[in-house]
Amino acid sequence: MTDPRASATPSAGTDRPGSRDTEQLAPPRSGASFLDDAALERLRPLSFTVAYRMLGSVAEAEDVVQEALTRVAQAPDVRNPDAFITTVTTRIAIDVLRSARVRRESYVGEWLPEPLVGAVPYLPVAMGTPAPDVARHAELADDLSTAFLVLLETLTPTERAAFLLHDVLGFPHSEAAGVIGTSEVAARQLASRARRRIAATAPARVPALAEAQTQARTRAQAPTETPARTQSSSLRSTPDRARAEQLVSRFLAACEEGAVDSFLELLTEDVVLTGDGGGNVPQGMSIVRPVAGRVTVARMLASFISRGAPVHFERALVGGEPGLLIVADDVVGGGLIGTWSFEVTDGRLSGIRGVINPRKLGHLGPLADLDRVQAALRHALEERTAARRAAAHRAAETEDPENQTSED
């Protein structure tokens, strides 16, 4: 793996107007200073959000962060720590993603990113970007959403890095090339290929990012006192977020009713329901293949609710977007079962993604005992079956009381 101390210096010409600091690292010298523990801890969330975007895995991202911080701690005279940690993290993540791709090819069922639940931490600071640009790029919180990370899975590791660095974090292609370890022309081509693939799958994503970048560059030319870091909001407007929250509320109401028609009102015609159990859940608790189509998905959701599972739903931000947690009731010991994230198109749900693989949920807190939940489901099914048989028996007695028949 490349030693960042030898090659983390970005390409020349990065000391642009408005930049508070050049990204170049000072050469080692006698008495060189190193970052202290407080400075390294400040870089931790920055490194994590870079790694998580690249990998879509909390566990793998945390491993990358630890290695990146170790390398940065050993580097003398780091002039721009944010730039350095972004560079080191991206390079390590590219290597990890290459090996992860091999493992994901043999993954059981559909692979979905490990969910982030709760408020999304501030987004990475673009290397050498003026403060106004950095603040506006922090608004692109939905590039941590499940839907966006699924799109990124269609890219190669270097395409993913080039696209994230340029289109999301605002790196010029010359600096992105320095991070990836390629030429500026190659970095531009990688980002362009990635953009075309994403546009082919989700056309609305690329124009939104391009518009945000244009606005950020315009603002960067005007003097401002905007701080370099800001709490992230979303690329979505406030009305969009409000509509998404409303849809989640209506989805919860549909879950309480359990009727097919209640779900039909919320779904687009081409909605897709995807589940990720990873082969690590009891049989029948997760779908192996995506289910598509408004009627089919509505019936499956209604069927899930009608099973009488000892679970309830809690609202939460999943990947920075309104979503739901599936939580086991106390009667079966409580604990988290899974998460649901939603994709909204034209005011309806176009994508529902559920992660129930316990190996992807451990970072969120105590997990439910799925065997115990399944046993409760089996017991509920037996009770429903017995009730139907009893009802059928009573109906038969009413129709012909002199010729009672025994049940099968």
Straight-line distance from the first to the last Cα atom of the chain, in angstroms, rounded to the nearest whole number? 68
pLDDT level of residue 211 (50, 70, 90 thresholds): low
| Cα–Cα distance measured from residue 322 to residue 101, given in angstroms and rounded to the nearest whole number | 29
* Better-scored residue on pLDDT, 398 or 40: 40
| Cα–Cα distance measured from residue 201 to residue 196, given in angstroms and rounded to the nearest whole number | 9
Q: What is the pLDDT of residue 208?
A: 56
Six-digit token string for 350: 């176009």
**pLDDT tens digits along 49-74:** 899 999 999 999 999 999 999 999 99
What number is the average pLDDT over the span 177-191?
Answer: 95
Handedness of CA 108, 327, 262, 256 (dihedral sign): positive
Six-digit token string for 387: 């009730």
Q: What is the pLDDT of residue 124?
A: 38
| Cα–Cα distance measured from residue 196 to residue 21, given in angstroms and rounded to the nearest whole number | 33
The DSSP string of 150-190 is: HHHTTS-HHHHHHHIIIIIT---HHHHHHHHTS-HHHHHHH
**Which region, left, alpha or beta, applies to residue 89 given φ > 0 means left and ψ of -120 to 50 means alpha?**
alpha
Beta bridge partner(s), residue 344:
349
pLDDT level of residue 350 (50, 70, 90 thresholds): very high
**pLDDT tens digits along 129-158:** 333 333 333 344 566 788 889 999 999 999
Q: What is the pLDDT of residue 4?
A: 38
* Better-scored residue on pLDDT, 28 or 189: 189
Longest pairwise C-alpha distance within the chain = 105
Lowest mean pLDDT among 75-84, 105-114, 294-303, 394-403: 394-403
* Better-scored residue on pLDDT, 172 or 230: 172
| Cα–Cα distance measured from residue 135 to residue 287, given in angstroms and rounded to the nearest whole number | 40
* Better-scored residue on pLDDT, 171 or 219: 171
* Better-scored residue on pLDDT, 248 or 7: 248
What number is the average pLDDT over the span 201-230?
Answer: 47
* Better-scored residue on pLDDT, 132 or 180: 180
Six-digit token string for 128: 């050498």
Q: What is the pLDDT of residue 238?
A: 61
Q: What is the pLDDT of residue 400?
A: 66
Measured CA to CA in angstroms, residue 85 lies from 137, 178, 179, 245 at distances of 18, 13, 11, 35
The DSSP string of 342-407 is: EEEETTEEEEEEEE--GGGTGGGS-B--HHHHHHHHHHHHHHHHHHHHHHHHHHHHHH-TTS----
Q: What is the pLDDT of residue 83?
A: 87
